[in-house]
Structure 1
Amino acid sequence: MSPPQKGLILEVGCGRGRTNEYLGVAAARIIQMDSSAAMHSLSPREECLAQLHCDCRSIPFANSQPSGVVGFLVDPFMGLGFLSEAYRILKPNGVLILTTPAYEWGRAIRGEGDPTDSELSNAIL
């Protein structure tokens, strides 16, 4: 899947920003968004048009604004509230591109420790 060739791209949970590196989108089209002020202060970071400090379940965009919404390793904040917001703000025929971490990695970053073998088996089933 590739990002749209025109229009704004909103990168949710941006951290340092990866949309240019991973998808080749020009900095002048990227708006980085993260709910963590600490993530916005990470250095070095990708250049972008603007940065937003807000929750992904309440994105300060009018309806049908960006051509694309992207997020890399978004598992920690995914939910129906975010998906609803992404749908609301995307232009018609807009694109949503998300990647999620491996189960084990996602668990570790949430502070739940390493999963047991039985927990892994249950998660896979």
Structure 2
Amino acid sequence: MEPAEYELMDAAEERMWWYRALHARVLDALARRPGPAGALLDAGCGTGGLLRRLAALGRPLVGLDFNPSAAARATAKSGALAAAGDANRLPFADGAFAALASCDVLCHRAVDPDAALAEFRRVLAPGGTLVLNLPAYDWLHSAHDIRVHNTRRFTAGGARAMLAAAGFAAIEARYWNALLLPLMVLQRKVLRADEKAESDVHDFPPWLDATLHGVTAVERGLARLGLRYPAGGSILLLATRP
């Protein structure tokens, strides 16, 4: 991403409703399928917001981001070791991690999804857990994607097939941010349809941020009860390295 987008992320990810909702879902996924004992890699850690929340798991943490300044900020923010590196060529040994999380990385223009998934599989130990978050639907591509250098979006079925082709097993693919999808469409395709518009990462008025986060919390609670959503703005995937 552009340096300005990293600065926006750094300022917003502790408070902004979307980051809090995403991080909660990653933690839920790891609670259900933690993988074997051992270290966890956040591949594409940005400025360290997720790493900071993952510290609650009490397991060794490592972060990686393409931008050295972001990786340094992630270390300062989370206390975890974060290195600069390429998701297409991870600088880690085979089987080094028991779990790997990667949020909105395979969508990036500098990432080859097939190469990155092969690397994710390589650095995971047998039985290791993979958690991915991906943006949904090519037709939702907008100024936000342009600002953060996203060149591809996914469907749950397509993402599941991609992980199966990469050799992962026990794959789950679930849409989330479903209840707010109509507002997302309105925001991205109508109100801010201009390709020169800013990204969606910014501070919201407190009342609006609380409302949006409350909607995601309701959705998360219903999902925990077994409700599955047929559509959503994002896809959370959970898989195992055989």
Taking structure 2 as the reference length, the TM-score comes to 0.41
| Alpha-carbon distance in structure 2 between the residues aligned to 1:38 and 1:30 | 18
Partner of 1:99: 133
- RMSD across aligned positions (CA): 2.9
| Alpha-carbon distance in structure 1 between the residues aligned to 2:127 and 2:70 | 30
Q: Deviations for 1:53-111, whole angstroms, at most 9, x for unmatched residues? A: 11111112221110011112222136111000011111001011011235444344228
| Alpha-carbon distance in structure 2 between the residues aligned to 1:94 and 1:53 | 23
Number of residues of Structure 1 aligned to a counterpart in Structure 2: 114
1:71 matched to 2:102? yes
| Alpha-carbon distance in structure 1 between the residues aligned to 2:148 and 2:131 | 21
1:61 matched to 2:61? no
Structure-to-structure mapping, 1:20-99, within 5 angstroms? 20-21=52-53, 24-26=56-58, 29-42=60-73, 45-48=77-80, 50-74=81-105, 75-76=107-108, 77=111, 79-99=113-133
Q: Which stretches of structure 1, 4 residues or longer, exceed 6 Å deviation after superposition? A: 114-117
Q: Which runs of 5+ in 2 are unaligned?
A: 1-28, 152-187, 194-242
The 3-state SS of whatever aligns with 1:93 is strand
> Is the alpha carbon distance of 1:73 and 1:37 closer, same or farther for their aligned partners in structure 2, counting shifts above 3 Å?
same
Q: Which runs of 5+ in 1 are unaligned?
A: 118-125
CA positional deviation for 1:20: 4.2
Is this contact kept in 1: 2:68–2:83, CA < 8 A? no
Q: Equivalent pairs: percent with the same residue?
A: 20
Partner of 1:120: none
Instruction: Judge which range, 11-20 or 34-43, deviates more.
Output: 34-43
Which structure dedicates a bigger proportion of its chain to helix? Answer: 2
Partner of 1:109: 148
Q: Deviations for 1:22-45, whole angstroms, at most 9, x for unmatched residues? A: 58333x510011111121233762
CA positional deviation for 1:12: 0.7
One-letter amino acid of the structure 2 residue matched with residue 100 of structure 1: L
- When Rg is computed on C-alpha atoms for both structures, the one with the higher figure is 2
Is this contact kept in 2: 1:107–1:115, CA < 8 A? no
| Alpha-carbon distance in structure 1 between the residues aligned to 2:72 and 2:95 | 29
Is this contact kept in 2: 1:19–1:25, CA < 8 A? no
Partner of 1:121: none
| Alpha-carbon distance in structure 1 between the residues aligned to 2:101 and 2:38 | 13
One-letter amino acid of the structure 2 residue matched with residue 55 of structure 1: D
